[in-house]
């Protein structure tokens, strides 16, 4: 096992340099041209078989150890966020309006680092590893389009492993949990149509703004009065646009929001529940509506067996006392699509520090030591799952 430590030391500067190079060139969802090229070039340099242009910018590097055996995939995201970076890092974003504020630069560095180390461990492994880099995790999602292009088949992927740098877990710790870890998330857009007119004459109008406010209130009642409080669920209306000035009754109101839940049945029930409320209020007010409900990501749910395997691996890397069960989060992840297709595990690598900024903050940064921990977990997981007897 010590040769992994040796190889990690040998490649550690490169792994950190990759993170910094990629941090400087952040690209938002489905514009990841430079990032994708950087990753593909690196994989080719290591000598992997590389496929590009999957779901636009998706990249896969494959390493085959033997024709028979299992197939394992490691997954990273390519995309950054539309955030103006406010760190003073010497390698801060050179792209105005974009930043790796969700740590995906670190995720890419870890999966590329694992590819470098594992390429030098080949004689100890059987089967195949796919190093998968997907676009657009921050929405609208690149995992599903890559799966639709067949990346989980021929050969079928048996195990999927991924991680997220996570401020909710302390620096130096690893958070691993079987079962639901992250919520299913959807989006909806609603237009309420009324009849505009003079603010002094409401009886001649149908007030779309007023109908909209009643809808906002009634939608929250679904959570508080219809849902089992032991099954957490959230609805948030993040946008409400109506009106032009103080004395005009608006003809239209535009609302958009998101739902979150860990429960698949609740997840399936959300569109009907929302429509029932919207229709009831619009009918009562004499308004009409159009509702566009867009299913997003399923629940990110870890396989019990695979989670036990990865917990064992993580304990060997950071010590048993530093592997914790993290609190699940209502945040969503399209890693969920990979976990639906294979045994899999998505874990949290702790980057939590007292003074640290949260994910998606223009100040987000992390201690780069964690990248080596992540690479070591990937490499030992490969040996655990694909090791030759
Ligand atoms: Zn994010
Ligand atoms: Zn993220």
Query: What pLDDT, in 10s, does the model give residues 144-196?
Result: 999 999 999 999 999 999 999 999 999 999 999 999 999 999 999 999 999 99
pLDDT of residue 178: 98
Give the ligand at the shortest distance from the Cα of 106.
Answer: 2
pLDDT over 80 (residue 1): no
pLDDT of residue 273: 98
pLDDT of residue 334: 97
pLDDT tens, residue by residue, 333-368: 999 999 999 999 999 999 999 999 999 999 999 999
Q: How confident is the model at residue 388 (pLDDT cuts 50, 70, 90)?
A: confident
Give the ligand at the shortest distance from the Cα of 139.
Answer: 1
Distance 15 CA to ligand 1 centre (A): 21
pLDDT of residue 83: 97
Distance 286 CA to ligand 2 centre (A): 43
Strands 71-77 and 128-134: parallel
Q: How confident is the model at residue 124 (pLDDT cuts 50, 70, 90)?
A: confident
pLDDT of residue 123: 80
pLDDT of residue 285: 98
Fold that domain 184-297 belongs to in CATH: Alpha-Beta Plaits (3.30.70)
Contact (CB, 8 A) for 379 and 115:
no
Q: Could you tell me which CATH number the domain at 2-183+299-386 has?
A: 3.40.630.10
Q: How confident is the model at residue 122 (pLDDT cuts 50, 70, 90)?
A: confident
Give the ligand at the shortest distance from the Cα of 165.
Answer: 2
pTM score, whole prediction: 0.94
pLDDT tens, residue by residue, 289-335: 999 999 999 999 999 999 999 999 999 999 999 999 999 999 999 99
Q: What is the mean pLDDT of residues 10-32?
A: 98
Q: How confident is the model at residue 389 (pLDDT cuts 50, 70, 90)?
A: low
Three-class secondary structure of residue 167 per DSSP: strand
Distance 37 CA to ligand 1 centre (A): 22
Q: How confident is the model at residue 2 (pLDDT cuts 50, 70, 90)?
A: low
pLDDT tens, residue by residue, 41-93: 999 999 999 999 999 999 999 999 999 999 999 999 999 999 999 999 999 99
104-119 helix and 369-386 helix, angle to the nearest 10 degrees: 50
Q: Which residues are catalytic?
A: 79, 137
Q: How confident is the model at residue 3 (pLDDT cuts 50, 70, 90)?
A: confident
Tokens of 312: 């064992």
| Widest pairwise Cα distance in the chain | 83
String of DSSP letters for 171-213: TT-EE--SEEEE-EEEEEEEEEE-B-EETT-GGGSB-HHHHHH
pLDDT tens, residue by residue, 224-272: 999 999 999 999 999 999 999 999 999 999 999 999 999 999 999 999 9
Distance 192 CA to ligand 1 centre (A): 31
Contact (CB, 8 A) for 348 and 84:
no
Domain locations in the chain as residue ranges = 2-183+299-386, 184-297
């Amino acid at each position: 096992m010590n040769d992994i430590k040796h190889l990690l030391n040998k490649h550690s500067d490169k792994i950190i340099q990759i993170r910094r190079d990629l941090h400087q060139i952040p690209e938002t969802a489905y514009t990841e041209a430079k990032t994708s090229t950087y990753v593909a070039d690196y994989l080719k340099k290591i000598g992997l078989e590389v496929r590009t242009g999957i779901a636009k910018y998706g990249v896969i590097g494959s390493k085959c150890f033997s024709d028979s055996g299992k197939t394992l995939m490691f997954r990273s995201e390519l995309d950054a966020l539309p955030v103006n970076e406010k760190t003073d890092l010497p390698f801060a974003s050179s792209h105005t309006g974009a930043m790796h504020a969700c740590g995906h630069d670190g995720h890419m560095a870890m999966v590329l680092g694992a590819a470098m180390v594992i390429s030098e461990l080949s004689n100890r492994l059987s089967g195949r590893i796919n190093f998968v880099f997907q676009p657009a995790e921050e929405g609208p999602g690149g995992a599903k389009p890559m799966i639709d292009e067949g990346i989980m088949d021929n050969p079928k992927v048996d195990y999927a492993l991924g991680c997220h740098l996570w401020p909710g877990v302390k620096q130096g710790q690893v958070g691993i949990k079987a079962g639901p870890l992250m919520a299913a998330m959807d989006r909806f857009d609603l237009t309420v149509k009324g009849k505009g007119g003079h603010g002094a004459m409401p009886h001649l109008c149908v007030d779309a703004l007023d109908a909209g406010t009643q809808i906002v209130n009634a939608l929250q009642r679904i959570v508080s009065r219809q849902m089992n409080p032991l099954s957490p669920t959230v609805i948030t209306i993040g946008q409400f646009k109506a009106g032009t000035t103080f004395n005009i009754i608006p003809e239209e109101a535009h609302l958009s929001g998101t739902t979150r839940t860990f429960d698949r049945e609740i997840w399936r029930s959300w569109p009907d529940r929302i429509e029932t409320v919207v229709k009831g209020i619009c009918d009562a007010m004499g308004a009409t509506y159009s509702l566009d409900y867009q299913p997003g990501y399923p629940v990110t749910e870890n396989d019990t067996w695979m989670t036990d395997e990865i917990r064992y691996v993580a304990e060997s890397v950071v010590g048993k006392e530093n592997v914790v069960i993290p609190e699940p989060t209502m945040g969503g992840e399209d890693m969920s699509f990979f976990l639906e297709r294979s045994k899999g595990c998505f874990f949290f690598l702790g980057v939590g520090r007292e003074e640290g900024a949260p994910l998606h903050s223009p100040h987000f940064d992390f201690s780069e030591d964690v990248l080596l921990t992540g690479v070591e977990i990937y490499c030992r997981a490969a040996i655990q799952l694909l090791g030759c007897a």
